Amino acid sequence: MAARLSSAADYEGLLDKYETWMFDCDGVLWHGDRLIDGAIQVLDLLRSRKKKVIFVTNNATKSRKSYKGKFDALGVEAHVDEIYGSAYAAAVYVSSVMKLPKDKKVYVIGQKGVEEELAEEGVSFLGGTDPADVTLAPFSLDDFTLDPDVGAVLCGLDMQINYTKLCKAFQYLTRNPDCVFLATNEDSTYPAGGGLLPGAGAISAPLRYALGRDPISIGKPASTMLDCIKAKINFDPTRTIMVGDRLNTDILFGQNGGLSTLLVLTGITAEADISGPTASSIVPDFVTQSIGDLRVVAAAN
């Protein structure tokens, strides 16, 4: 059973125990463009205690650099090398794990964030935001030339998903030998404008269905994301805590990586998901209502 944190001593204990704090962002630090109460103070508290702070997001629509702009706009201190996104992790996976040869390319279903991170890693790509592929014009195989150098299809959240992109990706995945099917992440939905919209997993779903097979997924809960972080910074998993609002991404990600986990209830997960007859089988180590709750420590000091 998850430990419910409530007293200043509970939070003080947590602060003592963990030296590296990994945060999901949306639903934990903010909701869209609205900060969660106390988030900034708690991050400041962690930094003042010399904790290592890492931001781990499945949002693949933005590169780390442009995601930093989001922190800046909300007045949250963050450095690009503290930010790990699924677009970045996917680009690192393509260049360093798959070791895609330099003369090969990635066909992208996704937005600028994916393209920017691939470019940063020196990976060639096509599709994505190319106006030729951002179209609702009819797709015909007669007008399509298969590029034999496409060695992977990478799918992320793409709000300009369309049939041309799906058809091209499907051709590469069925006609180019050994073409690898990758997804930045498999979130079924994401919070936006006070509701939920279909997430990155829904964008790769047509290919998954047409192919009858699943992509290699890079973002949380997959360990690929943690491998990326490990390659860049040192941390002791036994003294690291993952803070998130989603059981099947954030909390499972922490558990898969041998980290401790703290669930906050300011995002996707509701009380009914963690207690009672409808509770999930994924159980975090700790639960608190909001990341802002940790302010009690600052106040107590």
Binding residues: 24, 26, 220, 245
Cis geometry, peptide bond prior to residue 284 (ω within 30 degrees of 0): no
Q: Is 141 in the site for its own copies (CB under 8 A)?
A: yes
Q: Is 160 in the site for its own copies (CB under 8 A)?
A: yes
Give the residue, chosen from 142, 145, 178, 277, that forms a contact with its own copies under the rule CB under 8 A: 142
Q: Is 34 in the site for its own copies (CB under 8 A)?
A: no
At closest approach, how far in Å is the CB of 166 from its own copies?
5
Q: Is 149 in the site for its own copies (CB under 8 A)?
A: no
Q: Name residue, tokens 């990478």.
A: 154
Beta carbons of 153 and 169 less than 8 angstroms apart:
yes
Closer residue to its own copies, CB minimum distance, 7 or 174? 174
Residues making up the binding site for substrate: 220
Closer residue to its own copies, CB minimum distance, 54 or 268? 268
Can you tell me the distance from the alpha carbon of 43 to that of 46, in angstroms, rounded to the nearest whole number? 5
Catalytic residue chosen out of the listed positions 10, 16, 26, 72: 26
Can you tell me the distance from the alpha carbon of 86 to that of 155, in angstroms, rounded to the nearest whole number? 11
DSSP state, residue 26: B
Can you tell me the distance from the alpha carbon of 264 to that of 49, in angstroms, rounded to the nearest whole number? 21
Active site annotation includes 250:
no
Give the residue, chosen from 177, 193, 276, 277, that forms a contact with its own copies under the rule CB under 8 A: 193
Helix (H) or strand (E) holding 252: helix 252-256
Can you tell me the distance from the alpha carbon of 150 to that of 158, in angstroms, rounded to the nearest whole number? 19
Active site annotation includes 26:
yes
Beta carbons of 158 and 206 less than 8 angstroms apart:
no
Helix (H) or strand (E) holding 204: helix 200-211
Catalytic residue chosen out of the listed positions 24, 133, 158, 187: 24
Q: Is 177 in the site for its own copies (CB under 8 A)?
A: no
Q: Is 208 in the site for its own copies (CB under 8 A)?
A: yes
Measured over the CA atoms of residue 239, residue 245, residue 248 and residue 250, the dihedral's sign is negative
Can you tell me the distance from the alpha carbon of 236 to that of 255, in angstroms, rounded to the nearest whole number? 14
Q: Is 276 in the site for its own copies (CB under 8 A)?
A: no
Binding segment for its own copies (CB under 8 A), chosen from 206-214, 228-236, 252-260, 288-296, is: 206-214
Closer residue to its own copies, CB minimum distance, 161 or 226? 161
Beta carbons of 90 and 40 less than 8 angstroms apart:
no
Binding segment for its own copies (CB under 8 A), chosen from 3-11, 128-136, 273-281, 284-292, is: 128-136
- Given the rule CB under 8 A, which residues bind its own copies? 134-136, 138-142, 158-163, 166-167, 170-171, 174-175, 188-189, 192-199, 201-203, 205-212
Active-site residue numbers? 24, 26
